[in-house]
Amino acid sequence: MPHESLADFLENLASAGELARVEIEADPDLEIAEIIARCARSGGPAILFDRPKGYATALVTNLLGTPARLARALGADSLEAVVETIAQRAGQGARRGWLTRLSAEEQNSAAGKFAPKTVKAAACQQVVRLGGDVDLAQIPAIRVGPEESQPALTAALVLFSSPDGERLALRRQSLPVLSRTTLALHAESYGPLRQQADAWAARGERMPVAVILGADPSVMLAAELPLEDVGEPYAAAGLLRGAPLEVVACRSHELPVPAHAEMILEGSIDLDEPLVEIPYLAAPSGFYARNLPAYRLHVAAITQRSNPVVPAIVYGRPPTELTVINQLAARLLLPHARAVAPEIVDLCLPSFAPGRSCAIVSIRKTQPHQARKVAGALWALDALRYTKTVIVVDPSVDVADVNAVMHRATACLDPARDVFYQDGLAEPLDQSVSRGGVVQKLGIDATAKLPEERDNQASDDRTAWPREIISSEETQTQVAGRWKQYGLPLPDRAP
């Protein structure tokens, strides 16, 4: 059965020995982030901080910090099982792939089967604070890095819609707390938030926004995973959990929010107000984003469970929760990638690039310069539009083995021939690129070169493609059979 709430998931983790509790006081100002960074590097458990310093509300972090925990969040034993289950639910035999866009009116479609159900009473509205009772300072916010000027709600799910209400969007953002009633909401130069804000501004109206803090894992992942083609985000959450999600209308406006969420912040953006600037903000890349323009999100109401638990995500040097989520994202993206480039064999979003800044893909090569075509196809996917580097290798290379990939990408690389560039969108939080919005993406062709791609004017053997040193099967079998006789410990892995 799907988890109805974050509380259900925490109970599941506790029964499996995957949840640790810190009962002593811990400071959300830098201390908690350092604790989580150390636990994440060692594959540690999710951690529930019962007493965040200065707050009465508990804080949970590192929720999806391992592949096993991410799979458990979706009721599966492995990420592979998650992908298989989702494919079955969505209808793998669809002509355009199992994540093709489906109309909510089609009764047999994924969007139709898993469309959200509206309820009138909800756990997320057990306690309601309005007007002068709204105080964001009571919600545990963390500082990840010492240069951040304000603590932030790092696991906030931002919900907004088009003025006609037909297009609903859900995005995770880190929201700095500016005052008792105001949050900073990054106003990226392009993307759905800016597009809808412009549409609301054209009507001369404030833009309603809801911030979800702590929902069942399917809602959290619907904001992160490449599931846009399923339809609206709550249908994607229903697909992930295998059952429709219950939603309820906000108290101060009509946006629908998860009925079993821990806490909802209801507010709006006055689009006539000048933007504010976020001096430093911890970004998913593990570096600071600087001088970010932001809307002021004015919070008019807070609704919550009677004893809520607020989640947080810690950004920093990988591995982090986002690198684990990217493992599942790569599995879900593979059908999309193969739909536009059938020669693709496998795809990896490596852990050293938590913001999806790098993708590694293996292909069955049949024509010269095919790597350039495949890299262009990946950059055309919405989920990889910000990816800065694409590395293309042969099918014999395990895309998840970074050492094997980099061996091919360095030992057999001719930069003049195998490195190429393509203009594309810049990640809004990436401070290593200019603010112009367009950057040059890097492609690396680490595949074996066909004769047409090599200098075949010369006749000597130096123009042939390098041959890798691989032990013969006969020698490998002989050594494996005699290993115990050598008196050596078993190697960590077979050659």
Position 105 scores a pLDDT of 40
Position 436 scores a pLDDT of 60
Q: Would you say 105 and 235 are in contact if contact means Cβ atoms under 8 Å apart?
A: no
pLDDT band at 464 (very low <50, low <70, confident <90, very high): low
Decide which of 113 and 55 is more confident.
Answer: 55
Q: Would you say 185 and 175 are in contact if contact means Cβ atoms under 8 Å apart?
A: yes
Coil, helix or strand at residue 194: helix
pLDDT band at 89 (very low <50, low <70, confident <90, very high): confident
- Going 177 to 183 to 184 to 190, the CA torsion angle's sign is positive
Residue 130 pLDDT greater than 60, yes or no: yes
Coil, helix or strand at residue 175: strand
Q: What is the CA radius of gyration of the chain?
A: 24
Residue 90 pLDDT greater than 90, yes or no: no
Angle at Cα 152 formed by Cα 278 and Cα 237, nearest 5°? 110
Residue 103 pLDDT greater than 60, yes or no: no
Position 459 scores a pLDDT of 47
Position 429 scores a pLDDT of 84
Region 203-208 average pLDDT: 96
Position 96 scores a pLDDT of 42
Q: Would you say 144 and 154 are in contact if contact means Cβ atoms under 8 Å apart?
A: yes
For residues 322, 327, 332, 335, the Cα torsion angle rounded to the nearest 10 degrees is 140
Coil, helix or strand at residue 37: helix
Q: What is the rounded average pLDDT for all residues in the chain? A: 90
> Residue 71: enclosing H or E segment and its boundaries?
helix 67-73
**Alpha carbons 37 and 42: distance in angstroms, whole number:** 9
Residue 94 pLDDT greater than 50, yes or no: no
Burial of 487 per CB tally in 10 Å (0-12, 13-18, 19+):
exposed
Q: Where are the beta strands (DSSP E) in 167-230?
A: 168-176, 182-186, 207-213
Region 112-122 average pLDDT: 91
**Alpha carbons 127 and 444: distance in angstroms, whole number:** 54
Burial of 203 per CB tally in 10 Å (0-12, 13-18, 19+):
exposed
Per-residue pLDDT tens for 325-358?
Answer: 999 999 999 988 999 999 999 999 999 987 889 9
Tell me the two tokens of residue 303. Answer: 């609704």
Region 406-428 average pLDDT: 91
Tell me the two tokens of residue 99. Answer: 């994540």
Angle at Cα 79 formed by Cα 261 and Cα 287, nearest 5°? 70
Region 154-180 average pLDDT: 95
DSSP 316: S
Position 213 scores a pLDDT of 98
Q: Would you say 70 and 64 are in contact if contact means Cβ atoms under 8 Å apart?
A: yes
Tokens 């929720």 — which residue?
63
Decide which of 488 and 436 is more confident.
Answer: 488
- Going 148 to 149 to 152 to 158, the CA torsion angle's sign is negative
Residue 457 pLDDT greater than 60, yes or no: no
Region 320-326 average pLDDT: 92
Per-residue pLDDT tens for 289-315?
Answer: 999 999 999 999 999 999 999 999 998
The CA–CA distances, whole Å, from 388 to 229, 357, 402, 438 equal 23, 5, 17, 11
**Alpha carbons 159 and 248: distance in angstroms, whole number:** 13
**Alpha carbons 464 and 447: distance in angstroms, whole number:** 14
Q: 153-167, 230-244, 293-307: which range is least confident on average?
A: 230-244
Residue 466 pLDDT greater than 90, yes or no: no
CA nearest neighbour of 448 among 342, 341, 362: 362
Position 1 scores a pLDDT of 60
Quote helix, strand, coil % in the chain, to nearest 5: 30, 25, 45
